[in-house]
Chain A
Amino acid sequence: MISMAEISRTAVRALRRNKTRSMLTALGIIIGVAAVIAAFAVGQGANKSIDEQIASFGSNFIMVFPDRSASSASGTVKYLTYDDALAIEREVSGIEAVAPMINTSAQLVYGNTNWSTSVTGSTPSYSLVQDREVDYGRNINASDVRQGAKIAVIGKTIADKMFFGEDPVGKSIRIKKVPFTIIGVLKAKGQNTMGQDQDDLVLVPLTAAQRRLVRWNTPGRISTIYIKGVSMNALQYIQNETEALMRERHKIRAGEPDDFSVRNISQMLEARRKTTAIMSMLLGSIAVISLVVGGIGIMNIMLVSVTERTREIGIRMAVGAKSRDIRFQFLIEAVVLSMVGGTTGIILGVFAGHALASLTSAPPIFSAGSIILAFVFSVLVGVGFGYYPAWKASLLDPIDALKYE
């Protein structure tokens, strides 16, 4: 009785004799497995990044911003105002804090150092909503906002890039050529999961931004309103109430579209998670299809190989190979092809995953489960598609096989 190890050795030797063809045959599996591995890893990476975003934003968090597409349709442009923010805070229950915000980008000058960054004008609620505390100095307070004081709190990055270790507190900095006095530096938060530096920002009182930095014509105009609910459960209620209140304040009649939009962060992230899931399912099914196509490639080549090697099969049978021995030899050839393809595919998939992920900025996650699954699947493809040619080979008649030219 010939051992499996011997048959395997014979199979590997046969594959070695036809290296180019073997590699080309395995290519289908290589691409399939690489695609499976990469798709899973990128999908899981994206999911994890979304989870982290939920965790870092705090999920009980609602944003209100103007919807320009709606306002342009009605002809008049409606902005959010500071009064809108106050009304929400006053009339909607379940709210912990409301932060009206003006967002603009500006050039900073200190001495002969220039820095371009984003400037946010807001109220003391900002630090509650966004969870930002000062590292040293002090934060913006209510009286700063009332007075429109020309003071600023800066992020760690700006402290590093413009002050080079000098203590920035008390220094005067020019924002859009207007001098502001720095009163504090925020605690570092690092990069968010999108790769943005969260410490590259300047906070000023809302009123100072209104008067000195944006100079909008509409009185009390602001960019966005951030609302923090008391709990996750309150969010839907807050969202509905805010929408109703805003429609009333902006005098939108029934049937007319909103000129603002209220977004629940966790809803947005959930939507993105769904998109990601659909994407990875799509990639996954393409990968499965290519694995199956790879399997058909193996079957095709194995059938050609059986025909080509008919005489070899005849010789083996004449000297005593049983049909089982022939069947196993060709089956193992197919399995070895798909296993080599699977292993190469896994390695390639890891590279492909990293390359793909560098486009989405979410690092890929390679789980042992997906790697084992891809490998097992490729072996199954080998067995599945290798069986028919192997079975055909084992049915050959030794005399016909020996006569085959």
Chain B
Amino acid sequence: MALVELRDIRKSFSMGKEEVEILHGISISVEKSEFVAMMGPSGSGKSTTMNILGCLDKPTSGTYILNGQNINDLEGDDLAVIRNRTIGFVFQGFNLLQKTSAIENVELPLLYAGMPKKERRERAKEALIQMGLEDRLYHEPTQLSGGQQQRVAIARGIVNRAPILMADEPTGNLDSKTSDEIMKLFKKINEEDGTTILLVTHEPDVAAYAKRIVHFKDGMITSDEINREVKVS
């Protein structure tokens, strides 16, 4: 059974009196340990799809089955539990808590999972070391470069050992050299830990690291194919 399955997902927003549909029936299924890039111009619906996949948003109609569970039936706090246990997030703007050390930022998902402090520290430290930040544990976001901040964010995304890591334009605020470093980290996480990665981007260079590329246009999927030439470095 697929880890992630969307069936005929539609999403509309009300703009004043009118209902505007921006997803016109998205269906996609992702297996465990896949590395999928979702591409498309802005307004193509890729980010909205990502939000639905991330249980941050609910579709207007359609079925979403995550890890064998039908998400349609779940409400606020149940979705919070799913986000906490099943999904790790990496955002374009890093979204780290300001005036809070790297390690405390990484601990956050574990805090809400109810893990005791000592264990939390250890796991957070491990994740930061994995991201090559062993000498930045107690730095605050303002003391870190963009690439370092994004690595803290990735550490936060993987610290809960969730089966899925979702990244929405993770390299959008980074230069190309740093982008490559970050993408290599994603690749490594996917290959070594078997974590499923769903990536939203509009840059072909970034998408090139994924094993599978899905194209979006005007709220529909236009192509969905295996990437024959996965970028190595």
Partner-B contacts on A (CB < 8 A): 1-3, 6, 10, 13, 17, 311-312, 314-325, 398-399, 402
Contact = CB atoms under 8 A, between A and B. Distances in A.
Contact of A2 (B51, B91, B114): B114
Contacts of A322: 76-77, 80-81, 112
Closest 10 CB pairs of A and B: A320-B84, A320-B112, A319-B109, A322-B77, A322-B80, A17-B99, A1-B114, A398-B56, A321-B112, A315-B95
B56 A319 contact: no
A261 B186 CA distance: 98
Interface of B: 51, 54, 56-57, 76-77, 80-81, 83-85, 89, 91, 95-100, 108-109, 111-114, 117, 156, 160
Given A2-B112, A3-B114, A6-B111, A320 B80 contact: yes
Given A324-B77, A402-B91, A319 B83 contact: yes
Most buried by A among B76, B109, B114: B76
Nearest to A394: B76
A373 B77 CA distance: 37
27 contacts: A1-B114, A2-B112, A17-B99, A312-B97, A312-B98, A314-B95, A315-B95, A316-B108, A316-B112, A317-B83, A318-B56, A319-B83, A319-B84, A319-B112, A320-B80, A320-B85, A321-B80, A321-B112, A322-B76, A322-B77, A322-B80, A323-B80, A324-B77, A325-B112, A398-B56, A399-B57, A402-B95
Nearest to B57: A399
A213 to B, nearest CB: 80
A319 B108 contact: yes
Contacts of A316: 108, 112
Contacts of B109: 319-320
Nearest to A314: B95
Contact of B108 (A1, A315, A323, A402): A315
Contacts of B77: 322-324
Given A10-B111, A324-B77, A399-B51, A319 B156 contact: yes
Contacts of A318: 54, 56, 83, 89, 95
Interface centre among A1, A314, A317, A325 (most CB of B within 10 A): A317
B95 A311 contact: yes
Contacts of B100: 13
